[in-house]
Chains A and B, each alone.
Chain A
Amino acid sequence: MSHHIVEFTDVHYSYPDGTAALKGLSLRITHGEAVGIVGANGSGKSTLLMHTNGYLLPQSGTITIGDSQLDKSTRQEIRKKVGLIFQNPDDQLFMPSVFDDVAFGPLNLGLKPERVEQRVIEALETVGCLALKDKPPHHLSGGQKSAVAIATVIAMQPDILVMDEPASHLDPKSRRALIRLLGHFEHTKIIASHDLDLILDVCRRCVIIKEGRVVADGPAEEILSDRQLLEANNLELPLSLQKRVLPSGGTMDDISKLKHLLGHWAEHNIEHARTYLDWSKKANAIGKTELSAILKQIADETEKLDGLFKSAEKLCSADIKPQ
Chain B
Amino acid sequence: MHMADALLSPAAGATFWAGTIGAIAYCSKKLKENMDEKLIPLMGVLGAFIFAAQMINFTIPGTGSSGHLGGGMILAIILGPCPAFIVMASVLTVQALFFADGGLLALGCNIWNLGIYPCFVGYPLIYEPLTKGTAGPKRIFVAALISGVVALQLGAFSVVIETMLSGRSELPFSTFAMMMQPIHLGIGIVEGFVTAGVINFVRAARPEILQSVALARPISAGGPSRKVLACLLVAALFTGGALSWFASDNPDGLEWSIERVFGKPELPEHESGIAPALKKIQEKTAFLPDYKLRARAERAGGQESGKDEKTLPSADAGTSVSGVIGSAMVIGLILLIGLGLRLARKNKTAQKTTGNDIR
Contact = CB atoms under 8 A, between A and B. Distances in A.
Contacts of B44: 94
A315 to B, nearest CB: 52
A277 B138 CA distance: 66
B41 interface: yes
Interface string B187-213: 000000000000000000000100000
A17 B212 CA distance: 13
A239 B270 CA distance: 95
A16 B44 CA distance: 26
A17 B209 CA distance: 12
Interface residues of A, number: 3
Interface string A57-94: 00000000000000000000000000000000000001
Interface residues of B, number: 3
B90 to A, nearest CB: 14
Interface string A1-34: 0000000000000001100000000000000000
B3 to A, nearest CB: 29
Main SS of the interface on chain A? loop
A139 to B, nearest CB: 15
Contacts of B41: 94
Interface in A90-141: 94
Nearest to B40: A94
A50 to B, nearest CB: 16
Contacts of A17: 208
A14 to B, nearest CB: 15
Interface in B39-84: 41, 44
B23 to A, nearest CB: 25
A16 B208 CA distance: 10
A17 B41 CA distance: 24
Nearest to A91: B41
Nearest to B45: A94
Contacts of B208: 16-17
A96 to B, nearest CB: 11
A17 B44 CA distance: 27
Nearest to B212: A16
Contacts of A94: 41, 44
A169 B253 CA distance: 58
Nearest to A16: B208
A17 B206 CA distance: 11
A94 B40 CA distance: 11
A16 B215 CA distance: 15
Contacts of A16: 208
Nearest to B359: A131
Interface in B13-58: 41, 44
B154 to A, nearest CB: 35
A16 B209 CA distance: 12
A188 to B, nearest CB: 29
A196 to B, nearest CB: 33
A279 to B, nearest CB: 49
A17 B208 CA distance: 10
B298 to A, nearest CB: 51
A103 to B, nearest CB: 17
A272 to B, nearest CB: 47
A185 B59 CA distance: 55
Nearest to A17: B208
B206 to A, nearest CB: 10
B51 to A, nearest CB: 14
A38 B219 CA distance: 43
A94 B208 CA distance: 26
A72 B74 CA distance: 35
Interface string B99-128: 000000000000000000000000000000
A94 B42 CA distance: 12
A43 B122 CA distance: 46
A18 to B, nearest CB: 12
B52 to A, nearest CB: 13
A149 to B, nearest CB: 16
B358 to A, nearest CB: 10
A221 B254 CA distance: 81
Interface string A201-239: 000000000000000000000000000000000000000
A94 B48 CA distance: 13
A279 B111 CA distance: 71
A16 B212 CA distance: 12
A35 B208 CA distance: 36
A94 B44 CA distance: 10
A140 to B, nearest CB: 15
A17 B207 CA distance: 12
B39 to A, nearest CB: 14
B359 to A, nearest CB: 9
A83 to B, nearest CB: 19
A16 B41 CA distance: 22
B253 to A, nearest CB: 40
Nearest to A94: B41
A92 to B, nearest CB: 11
Interface in A152-173: none
A93 to B, nearest CB: 12
A64 B208 CA distance: 32
Nearest to B358: A131
A16 B211 CA distance: 13
A59 to B, nearest CB: 19
A3 to B, nearest CB: 33
Interface of A: 16-17, 94
4 contacts: A16-B208, A17-B208, A94-B41, A94-B44
Interface of B: 41, 44, 208
Closest 4 CB pairs of A and B: A94-B41, A17-B208, A16-B208, A94-B44
